[in-house]
Chain A
Amino acid sequence: MSVKVHIHTTHRQITNGLEVVEVEGKTVGECLNQLIRQFPEMEKALFTRKDKLLNNVEVYLNHASAYPNELLKPVKDEDEIHLLVMLAGG
Protein backbone atom coordinates (compact mmCIF):
# COMPACT_ATOMS: atom_id res chain seq x y z
CA MET A 1 0.00 0.00 0.00
CA SER A 2 1.56 3.25 -1.14
CA VAL A 3 0.36 6.83 -0.95
CA LYS A 4 2.14 9.73 -2.67
CA VAL A 5 2.62 12.88 -0.65
CA HIS A 6 3.31 15.94 -2.79
CA ILE A 7 5.60 18.29 -0.90
CA HIS A 8 5.15 22.05 -1.15
CA THR A 9 8.03 24.08 -2.58
CA THR A 10 8.80 25.67 0.78
CA HIS A 11 9.18 22.26 2.42
CA ARG A 12 11.38 20.62 -0.18
CA GLN A 13 14.54 21.75 1.55
CA ILE A 14 13.45 19.41 4.34
CA THR A 15 12.83 16.48 1.98
CA ASN A 16 16.20 16.85 0.28
CA GLY A 17 14.51 18.38 -2.75
CA LEU A 18 12.04 15.55 -3.18
CA GLU A 19 8.74 16.73 -4.66
CA VAL A 20 6.94 13.48 -3.92
CA VAL A 21 7.47 11.12 -1.00
CA GLU A 22 5.88 7.69 -0.90
CA VAL A 23 4.43 6.63 2.43
CA GLU A 24 2.04 4.06 3.85
CA GLY A 25 -0.95 4.48 6.12
CA LYS A 26 -4.67 4.07 6.46
CA THR A 27 -5.42 7.72 7.12
CA VAL A 28 -3.98 11.07 6.10
CA GLY A 29 -2.67 11.43 9.66
CA GLU A 30 -0.86 8.08 9.52
CA CYS A 31 0.66 9.02 6.19
CA LEU A 32 1.91 12.33 7.55
CA ASN A 33 3.33 10.59 10.58
CA GLN A 34 5.30 8.32 8.31
CA LEU A 35 6.45 11.33 6.31
CA ILE A 36 7.72 12.81 9.56
CA ARG A 37 9.51 9.58 10.43
CA GLN A 38 11.39 9.90 7.13
CA PHE A 39 11.94 13.65 7.49
CA PRO A 40 11.62 14.68 11.16
CA GLU A 41 11.79 18.42 10.43
CA MET A 42 8.47 18.14 8.59
CA GLU A 43 6.77 17.95 11.98
CA LYS A 44 7.27 21.61 12.84
CA ALA A 45 6.64 22.57 9.21
CA LEU A 46 3.16 21.01 9.41
CA PHE A 47 2.07 20.85 13.04
CA THR A 48 1.78 23.21 15.98
CA ARG A 49 1.46 20.23 18.27
CA LYS A 50 0.55 16.60 17.82
CA ASP A 51 -2.53 16.22 15.65
CA LYS A 52 -2.91 20.01 15.21
CA LEU A 53 -1.95 21.26 11.77
CA LEU A 54 -0.54 24.75 11.38
CA ASN A 55 -3.24 27.22 10.35
CA ASN A 56 -1.51 27.96 7.05
CA VAL A 57 -1.18 24.32 5.96
CA GLU A 58 -3.79 22.95 3.57
CA VAL A 59 -4.26 19.25 2.86
CA TYR A 60 -5.81 17.92 -0.33
CA LEU A 61 -6.61 14.27 -0.93
CA ASN A 62 -6.85 13.22 -4.56
CA HIS A 63 -7.12 16.88 -5.56
CA ALA A 64 -10.02 17.59 -3.22
CA SER A 65 -9.88 19.54 0.01
CA ALA A 66 -9.59 17.24 3.01
CA TYR A 67 -10.89 19.97 5.37
CA PRO A 68 -12.18 19.56 8.05
CA ASN A 69 -10.71 16.73 10.14
CA GLU A 70 -8.03 16.25 7.51
CA LEU A 71 -5.94 13.83 9.53
CA LEU A 72 -8.80 11.38 10.00
CA LYS A 73 -9.58 11.01 6.31
CA PRO A 74 -9.06 7.42 5.13
CA VAL A 75 -6.67 6.75 2.28
CA LYS A 76 -6.19 3.79 -0.02
CA ASP A 77 -3.46 2.48 -2.24
CA GLU A 78 -2.29 4.93 -4.91
CA ASP A 79 -4.06 7.90 -3.31
CA GLU A 80 -2.33 11.26 -3.52
CA ILE A 81 -1.95 13.83 -0.79
CA HIS A 82 -0.97 17.41 -1.64
CA LEU A 83 0.38 19.61 1.12
CA LEU A 84 -0.10 23.29 0.28
CA VAL A 85 0.71 26.43 2.14
CA MET A 86 -1.80 29.27 2.22
CA LEU A 87 -0.56 32.33 0.35
CA ALA A 88 -1.10 35.87 1.54
CA GLY A 89 0.91 38.05 -0.83
CA GLY A 90 -0.41 40.36 -3.48
Chain B
Amino acid sequence: MSVYPKVNDHSPFSLRREYISEDGGSMLTPNEQERYDRQIMIGEIGQEGQETLKRSRVAIAGAGGLGSPIAIYLTAAGIGMIRMIDHDQVTLSNLNRQILHWGEDIGRNKVESAGTKLRNLNSAVKIETIAETITEGNVSQLVDGCDVIVDAMDNLPTRYVLNRCAVEKKLPFFHGAVNGFEGRVMTIIPGETACLRCMYRGQVPQEKFPVIGVTPAVIGSIQATEVIKYLVGIGNLLTNRLLIYDGLKVTLTEFSVNKNPNCDHCGSLRRKE
Protein backbone atom coordinates (compact mmCIF):
# COMPACT_ATOMS: atom_id res chain seq x y z
CA MET B 1 0.00 0.00 0.00
CA SER B 2 1.44 3.33 -0.99
CA VAL B 3 1.00 6.25 1.35
CA TYR B 4 3.38 8.50 -0.51
CA PRO B 5 2.95 11.42 -0.49
CA LYS B 6 0.92 11.45 2.69
CA VAL B 7 -1.23 14.47 3.37
CA ASN B 8 -1.69 15.20 7.05
CA ASP B 9 -4.94 15.98 8.75
CA HIS B 10 -4.03 19.61 9.15
CA SER B 11 -3.74 20.49 5.50
CA PRO B 12 -4.55 24.15 5.05
CA PHE B 13 -5.51 23.72 1.41
CA SER B 14 -8.97 25.15 1.97
CA LEU B 15 -7.38 28.25 3.43
CA ARG B 16 -5.00 28.41 0.50
CA ARG B 17 -7.81 28.22 -2.00
CA GLU B 18 -9.46 31.22 -0.37
CA TYR B 19 -6.25 33.11 -0.81
CA ILE B 20 -6.08 32.15 -4.46
CA SER B 21 -9.45 33.69 -5.14
CA GLU B 22 -8.51 36.82 -3.22
CA ASP B 23 -5.21 37.20 -5.00
CA GLY B 24 -6.53 36.24 -8.39
CA GLY B 25 -3.94 33.47 -8.59
CA SER B 26 -0.25 33.48 -7.82
CA MET B 27 1.61 31.74 -10.61
CA LEU B 28 5.34 31.60 -10.20
CA THR B 29 7.48 33.94 -12.28
CA PRO B 30 10.06 32.37 -14.63
CA ASN B 31 12.73 33.46 -12.18
CA GLU B 32 10.93 31.77 -9.28
CA GLN B 33 10.34 28.69 -11.39
CA GLU B 34 14.08 28.38 -11.89
CA ARG B 35 14.99 29.30 -8.31
CA TYR B 36 12.72 26.65 -6.80
CA ASP B 37 13.26 24.05 -9.51
CA ARG B 38 14.93 21.50 -7.21
CA GLN B 39 12.18 21.58 -4.59
CA ILE B 40 9.39 21.64 -7.15
CA MET B 41 10.94 18.35 -8.29
CA ILE B 42 10.05 16.88 -4.88
CA GLY B 43 6.85 14.95 -5.42
CA GLU B 44 5.27 16.10 -2.17
CA ILE B 45 5.78 19.77 -3.05
CA GLY B 46 5.48 20.13 -6.78
CA GLN B 47 4.12 23.21 -8.55
CA GLU B 48 1.03 23.46 -6.38
CA GLY B 49 3.01 23.22 -3.16
CA GLN B 50 5.42 25.89 -4.28
CA GLU B 51 2.58 28.23 -5.11
CA THR B 52 1.09 27.50 -1.69
CA LEU B 53 4.36 28.50 -0.04
CA LYS B 54 4.33 31.73 -2.05
CA ARG B 55 0.89 32.58 -0.73
CA SER B 56 1.85 31.87 2.90
CA ARG B 57 2.59 34.35 5.64
CA VAL B 58 4.82 33.33 8.53
CA ALA B 59 5.57 35.17 11.77
CA ILE B 60 8.94 34.33 13.33
CA ALA B 61 9.16 35.43 16.95
CA GLY B 62 12.85 35.99 17.57
CA ALA B 63 15.73 36.81 15.24
CA GLY B 64 18.47 35.08 17.20
CA GLY B 65 19.91 31.58 17.31
CA LEU B 66 16.76 29.75 16.28
CA GLY B 67 15.30 32.61 14.26
CA SER B 68 18.35 32.71 12.00
CA PRO B 69 18.16 29.24 10.44
CA ILE B 70 14.35 29.29 10.48
CA ALA B 71 14.23 32.58 8.58
CA ILE B 72 17.03 31.67 6.18
CA TYR B 73 15.47 28.37 5.15
CA LEU B 74 11.93 29.70 4.91
CA THR B 75 13.16 32.64 2.85
CA ALA B 76 15.14 30.33 0.60
CA ALA B 77 12.11 28.07 0.26
CA GLY B 78 9.99 30.92 -1.09
CA ILE B 79 7.48 31.72 1.66
CA GLY B 80 5.46 34.70 0.43
CA MET B 81 5.83 36.89 3.49
CA ILE B 82 8.00 36.51 6.58
CA ARG B 83 7.55 38.81 9.55
CA MET B 84 10.56 38.98 11.87
CA ILE B 85 9.79 40.18 15.40
CA ASP B 86 12.58 40.96 17.88
CA HIS B 87 13.26 43.94 20.13
CA ASP B 88 16.95 43.27 20.63
CA GLN B 89 20.17 44.65 19.14
CA VAL B 90 23.09 42.60 17.87
CA THR B 91 25.97 42.08 20.33
CA LEU B 92 29.33 40.37 19.94
CA SER B 93 28.26 37.44 22.12
CA ASN B 94 25.40 36.70 19.70
CA LEU B 95 27.70 35.88 16.83
CA ASN B 96 28.61 32.31 17.83
CA ARG B 97 25.14 31.18 16.84
CA GLN B 98 22.97 33.93 15.37
CA ILE B 99 24.17 33.50 11.82
CA LEU B 100 21.96 36.20 10.31
CA HIS B 101 24.11 38.75 12.12
CA TRP B 102 27.72 39.58 11.32
CA GLY B 103 30.44 41.66 12.93
CA GLU B 104 29.39 44.75 10.98
CA ASP B 105 25.89 44.48 12.49
CA ILE B 106 26.86 44.91 16.13
CA GLY B 107 24.58 47.57 17.59
CA ARG B 108 21.95 47.29 14.85
CA ASN B 109 18.44 46.12 15.54
CA LYS B 110 18.38 42.38 14.94
CA VAL B 111 15.35 42.60 12.70
CA GLU B 112 17.04 45.23 10.51
CA SER B 113 20.16 43.10 10.27
CA ALA B 114 18.07 40.04 9.49
CA GLY B 115 15.96 41.92 6.95
CA THR B 116 19.03 43.00 4.99
CA LYS B 117 20.37 39.45 4.69
CA LEU B 118 17.03 37.83 3.94
CA ARG B 119 16.13 40.33 1.20
CA ASN B 120 19.51 39.74 -0.39
CA LEU B 121 18.96 36.01 -0.18
CA ASN B 122 15.59 36.13 -1.89
CA SER B 123 14.09 39.42 -3.05
CA ALA B 124 10.88 37.65 -4.06
CA VAL B 125 10.01 37.14 -0.40
CA LYS B 126 8.41 40.06 1.39
CA ILE B 127 10.30 40.56 4.65
CA GLU B 128 8.54 42.56 7.33
CA THR B 129 10.46 43.62 10.42
CA ILE B 130 9.10 44.68 13.79
CA ALA B 131 11.53 45.81 16.50
CA GLU B 132 9.22 45.44 19.47
CA THR B 133 9.09 43.41 22.65
CA ILE B 134 6.40 40.75 22.49
CA THR B 135 3.89 41.20 25.30
CA GLU B 136 0.42 39.97 26.12
CA GLY B 137 -0.82 43.39 25.10
CA ASN B 138 0.64 43.53 21.60
CA VAL B 139 1.15 39.91 20.54
CA SER B 140 -2.17 39.60 18.74
CA GLN B 141 -1.41 42.65 16.63
CA LEU B 142 2.18 41.57 15.98
CA VAL B 143 1.13 38.29 14.38
CA ASP B 144 -2.00 39.66 12.73
CA GLY B 145 -2.51 38.39 9.20
CA CYS B 146 -0.03 35.52 9.54
CA ASP B 147 -0.91 31.88 8.88
CA VAL B 148 1.47 30.43 11.46
CA ILE B 149 3.72 31.47 14.35
CA VAL B 150 7.22 30.11 14.81
CA ASP B 151 8.78 30.09 18.27
CA ALA B 152 12.35 31.34 18.14
CA MET B 153 12.37 32.94 21.56
CA ASP B 154 15.07 32.78 24.22
CA ASN B 155 12.80 32.63 27.27
CA LEU B 156 9.80 30.65 28.50
CA PRO B 157 7.49 33.53 29.58
CA THR B 158 7.34 34.95 26.05
CA ARG B 159 6.86 31.46 24.66
CA TYR B 160 3.76 31.15 26.81
CA VAL B 161 2.53 34.55 25.59
CA LEU B 162 2.90 33.30 22.02
CA ASN B 163 1.33 29.94 22.87
CA ARG B 164 -1.76 31.58 24.34
CA CYS B 165 -2.07 33.87 21.33
CA ALA B 166 -1.71 30.94 18.94
CA VAL B 167 -4.40 29.04 20.83
CA GLU B 168 -6.78 32.01 20.86
CA LYS B 169 -6.26 32.74 17.16
CA LYS B 170 -6.12 29.02 16.34
CA LEU B 171 -2.83 29.51 14.53
CA PRO B 172 -0.36 26.62 14.31
CA PHE B 173 2.59 27.19 16.63
CA PHE B 174 6.00 25.68 15.97
CA HIS B 175 7.94 25.34 19.21
CA GLY B 176 11.69 24.96 19.46
CA ALA B 177 14.21 25.48 22.27
CA VAL B 178 17.88 24.80 22.88
CA ASN B 179 20.45 24.51 25.64
CA GLY B 180 24.06 23.48 25.08
CA PHE B 181 24.10 20.59 22.63
CA GLU B 182 20.46 19.72 23.34
CA GLY B 183 17.31 20.91 21.63
CA ARG B 184 13.63 20.13 21.38
CA VAL B 185 10.87 20.62 18.84
CA MET B 186 7.10 20.25 19.00
CA THR B 187 4.34 21.37 16.66
CA ILE B 188 1.07 22.61 18.08
CA ILE B 189 -2.25 22.69 16.26
CA PRO B 190 -4.54 24.59 18.65
CA GLY B 191 -7.71 22.76 19.58
CA GLU B 192 -6.38 19.48 18.25
CA THR B 193 -3.05 18.72 19.86
CA ALA B 194 -1.15 19.31 23.07
CA CYS B 195 0.04 22.87 23.45
CA LEU B 196 3.17 24.20 25.10
CA ARG B 197 1.25 24.88 28.29
CA CYS B 198 -0.34 21.44 28.63
CA MET B 199 2.43 20.22 30.95
CA TYR B 200 2.88 23.51 32.81
CA ARG B 201 3.74 23.17 36.50
CA GLY B 202 4.73 26.73 37.31
CA GLN B 203 7.30 29.41 36.63
CA VAL B 204 10.88 28.48 35.87
CA PRO B 205 13.72 30.84 36.83
CA GLN B 206 15.24 32.67 33.86
CA GLU B 207 18.94 32.04 33.49
CA LYS B 208 21.63 32.79 30.94
CA PHE B 209 21.77 29.62 28.87
CA PRO B 210 24.81 27.95 27.31
CA VAL B 211 24.64 27.13 23.61
CA ILE B 212 26.78 26.43 20.56
CA GLY B 213 25.57 27.53 17.15
CA VAL B 214 25.18 24.10 15.63
CA THR B 215 22.37 23.24 18.07
CA PRO B 216 19.91 25.97 17.02
CA ALA B 217 20.99 25.22 13.44
CA VAL B 218 19.62 21.69 13.80
CA ILE B 219 16.52 22.63 15.80
CA GLY B 220 15.66 25.66 13.67
CA SER B 221 16.00 23.57 10.53
CA ILE B 222 13.55 21.01 11.91
CA GLN B 223 11.13 23.80 12.84
CA ALA B 224 11.38 25.22 9.31
CA THR B 225 10.75 21.73 7.94
CA GLU B 226 7.61 21.48 10.06
CA VAL B 227 6.38 24.86 8.81
CA ILE B 228 6.89 23.86 5.17
CA LYS B 229 5.17 20.51 5.72
CA TYR B 230 2.22 22.16 7.43
CA LEU B 231 1.78 24.84 4.79
CA VAL B 232 2.03 22.42 1.90
CA GLY B 233 -0.03 19.82 3.74
CA ILE B 234 2.37 16.89 3.61
CA GLY B 235 4.06 14.41 5.90
CA ASN B 236 3.52 13.73 9.58
CA LEU B 237 3.86 16.68 11.91
CA LEU B 238 5.47 16.60 15.34
CA THR B 239 2.10 16.98 16.98
CA ASN B 240 1.67 15.37 20.38
CA ARG B 241 5.30 14.36 19.91
CA LEU B 242 8.18 16.06 21.68
CA LEU B 243 11.40 15.50 19.75
CA ILE B 244 14.60 15.72 21.77
CA TYR B 245 17.92 16.16 19.95
CA ASP B 246 21.14 15.29 21.74
CA GLY B 247 24.03 16.65 19.72
CA LEU B 248 26.66 15.01 21.91
CA LYS B 249 25.32 11.52 21.31
CA VAL B 250 23.73 12.41 17.96
CA THR B 251 20.38 10.94 18.91
CA LEU B 252 16.81 11.97 18.27
CA THR B 253 14.40 10.69 20.91
CA GLU B 254 10.65 11.07 20.72
CA PHE B 255 8.23 11.36 23.62
CA SER B 256 4.47 11.41 23.36
CA VAL B 257 2.55 14.18 25.08
CA ASN B 258 -1.17 14.53 25.57
CA LYS B 259 -3.55 17.42 25.33
CA ASN B 260 -4.46 18.42 28.87
CA PRO B 261 -8.21 19.03 29.23
CA ASN B 262 -7.44 21.25 32.22
CA CYS B 263 -4.76 23.30 30.43
CA ASP B 264 -5.25 26.99 31.22
CA HIS B 265 -4.43 27.90 27.60
CA CYS B 266 -6.08 25.29 25.41
CA GLY B 267 -8.26 23.28 27.77
CA SER B 268 -11.44 25.02 26.70
CA LEU B 269 -10.88 24.34 23.01
CA ARG B 270 -12.59 21.27 21.67
CA ARG B 271 -11.17 18.92 19.14
CA LYS B 272 -12.51 19.22 15.63
CA GLU B 273 -15.40 16.89 14.99
Q: Are B254 and A63 in contact (CB under 8 A)?
A: yes
Residue of B nearest to A55 (CB): B202
Of residues 67 through 112 on chain B, the ones whose CB sits less than 8 Å from some CB of chain A are 67
Q: B246 is contacted by which of A9, A60, A68, A86 (Cβ under 8 Å)? A: A9
Q: Are B182 and A87 in contact (CB under 8 A)?
A: yes
Q: Interface residue count for A (Cβ, 8 Å)?
A: 19
Q: B156 is contacted by which of A58, A64, A84, A86 (Cβ under 8 Å)? A: A86
- B residues within 8 A CB of A87? 177-179, 182-184, 209
A23 to B67, CA, bound (A): 41
Residue of B nearest to A52 (CB): B201
Of residues 182 through 225 on chain B, the ones whose CB sits less than 8 Å from some CB of chain A are 182-184, 198-199, 201-204, 206-207, 209-211, 216
Interface string of A56-90 (1 = CB under 8 A from B): 10101001110110000000000000101111111
Interface centre among A53, A64, A65, A68 (most CB of B within 10 A): A65
Residues of B within 8 A of A (CB): 62, 64-67, 151-156, 159, 176-184, 198-199, 201-204, 206-207, 209-211, 216, 242, 244, 246, 248, 253-258, 260
Residues of A within 8 A of B (CB): 9, 53, 55-56, 58, 60, 63-65, 67-68, 82, 84-90
